[in-house]
Amino acid sequence: MKKTICISLIFISSILLSACSLEKDVTDLYKEETPLEAEIIIPASFSANTQETMKAELTQGGKMVENADFVHFEIWKQDGSLKYSMEQAEEEGNGTYALSKNFDSDGLYYIKVHASNDGSIIMPQKQFIVGKLSESELKFLQKGIRKQEESPEHHH
Amino acid sequence: MLGSCVNCLWSLFMVSPKKQSLSGVLLPRLNKGKHIFRRDLHAVPAFWITAGMLFLIMTGLPWSGFWGSNFQSLATNSGSGYPPSVWTGSAPTSSIKTKDIADVPWAAENLDVPLSDIQGFIPISIDDVVTIANREGMHPSYSINIPQETDGVYTLSAFPPKAQDEATIHIDQYSGAVLANYRYDHYGLIGKIVAWGITLHKGTQFGLVNQIISLLICLGIMLVAFSGFYLWWKRKPKKGLGAPKAPQIKNMKLFLFLLIGLGILFPLVGLSLIVVWLIDWLIIKRISVIKNFLNA
């Protein structure tokens, strides 16, 4: 009798022990979000005194986003010497939104895309380089501090 | 904790009256002399405290280490527990591809990494995360988990005093997108019950009243423990423990099944029972001094 108890106890506790991991698609059983996704496209090279076009390709749930609630671009220089205010990007179709700008001064830049559609709001940011980096900008990058100097958050 | 649960059941077994009268279980008998009163001082409060104690045990179990995490996983897998990552399970990952993330150059003199690798997504600042938290209406008690991996996410979690205010939000560290936003309303039925159980157990759900009730249960448990010891001390013979001779287990079928059932439901209890049985069988039964002392 005691032996049977022993064996069944060990058997059942091993079942319980093995039951402790979550199933892969368990998130399907609960509330799910369909976040916006953005690809920020920067020109391969910048030339002085020419309008360069920055683009954002928006997708949501695997589909191109047409008529997004809003798409604003915010561009500034790392050293704080230049700051473009937030501007609305123009819709080009196929989920692409674009803004053209003149980049006269060399250096390290940031672009932040503020976009919203169907309840999802995103603010991805990319760093990019126009021309040559200054010594301090290079040092800044090498420090590995991914944080830029004081993000200009004046739009709130 | 589980020991106390098993103990409660064992005690209920012992006090269950053989005759019909419930005095001595529900109410103390004041006119039957000192011995009976001493016994009732233990048994009567114990009977009433058991309900509160079982409540505390049942509400504490789901967040215990071994039993709790298994229970939570089963509940989450069934779709009626906490959503994944609130209690068990990992957070979602960022949808940004690794190659699109900005690299950090490290050589001192010049750019040793191709320009295209430096031009990439950089994580949003903690200020942005706070902005998102405010926008989504997080309870102000939230904490932020900062991503440790390149594909990690910011996780905001709040377990405030009231279960209904709980929230867990995962934010893509590059795009700031809300990847998951789990509120109390999105918990399954078991998840909601467990969440309420935890805040009731911690005494935060109803504030002071809640804590006073918990305190009374706690004091009651202490009273029962001390009165039990006192009862034994007053009754024990001069020599030995005064433990009653154990009845043959074959004569206690119902109790045996209860014991096995609990051992299965709570594997660690089962394991402990096996260890105790081994000690009994290998040591106590074989050494006559111990055997006599314990009256085994």
Q: What pLDDT does A18 receive?
A: 56
pLDDT bucket at B106, cuts 50 / 70 / 90 = low
**Contact residues for B256 (Cβ-Cβ < 8 A; gap 6+):** B249
Residues B242-265 have a mean pLDDT of 82
Tell if the CB–CB gap between B122 and A142 is shorter than 8 Å: no
Out of A62-66, A114-118, A144-148, B276-280, pick the least confident.
Answer: A144-148
The per-residue pLDDT for range B42-65, each reduced to its tens digit, is 888 888 888 898 899 899 999 888
What letter does residue B91 receive in the DSSP assignment? P
pLDDT confidence band for A149 (50 / 70 / 90): very low
CB contact under 8 A, A19 and B74: yes
Chain A contacts in chain B segment 199-258 (CB below 8 A):
none
- The larger pLDDT score, comparing residue B77 to residue B12, is at B77
Which residues from B are below 8 Å from A12, CB to CB?
264, 267
Tell me what ipTM this predicted complex has.
0.80
Q: Which two three-digit tokens encode residue B58?
A: 């049942």
At residue A80, the pLDDT reads 87
The residue with tokens 């892969």 is A24
- CATH number listed for the domain at residues A35-142: 2.60.40.150
pTM assigned to the model:
0.81
Contact map slice: B 124-143 vs A, CB within 8 A: 124-125, 127-128, 131-132, 135
Predicted local distance difference test score (pLDDT) of residue B265: 84
Domains of chain B, by residue range, sit at 1-82+188-235, 87-186, 244-296
Residue A6 in this model has a pLDDT that exceeds 80:
no
Q: Do A120 and B124 touch (CB under 8 A)?
A: no
B89 and A40 in contact by Cβ < 8 A?
A: no
The answer to whether the Cβ–Cβ distance between A9 and B260 falls below 8 Å is yes
Of residues A9, A19, A123, nearest to B264 (C-beta): A9
CB B108 within 8 A of CB A139: no
Q: Is A146's pLDDT higher than 50?
A: no
The secondary element (H helix, E strand) that includes residue A63 is strand A63-64
3-class SS shares of chain A: helix, strand, coil, % to 5? 20, 40, 40
B150 touches chain A (CB under 8 A): no
* Residue A31 pLDDT > 60: yes
* pLDDT number for residue A13: 61
Locus of tokens 């009653």: B244
B189-B193-B199 Cα angle (round to 5)? 145
When the pLDDT of each residue in chain B is averaged and rounded to a whole number, the result is 86
Contacts of A141 (CB under 8 A, 6+ apart): A108, A133, B104, B105, B118
CA of B171 vs chain A CAs: smallest distance (Å): 10
CB proximity B154 to A under 8 Å: no
pLDDT, greater one: A148 or A136: A136
- B182 part of contact set with chain A, CB < 8 Å: yes
Question: In terms of CA atoms, which chain A residue is nearest residue B104?
Answer: A144
User: For residue B235, what pLDDT band results from cuts at 50, 70 and 90?
Assistant: confident
Compare A17 and A64 and report the one with higher pLDDT: A64
Under the banding of pLDDT at 50, 70 and 90, the label for residue A150 is very low
Bridge partner residues of B62 (DSSP)? none
Q: Do A31 and B277 touch (CB under 8 A)?
A: no
Each residue's pLDDT tens digit, B277-292:
999 899 988 888 888 8
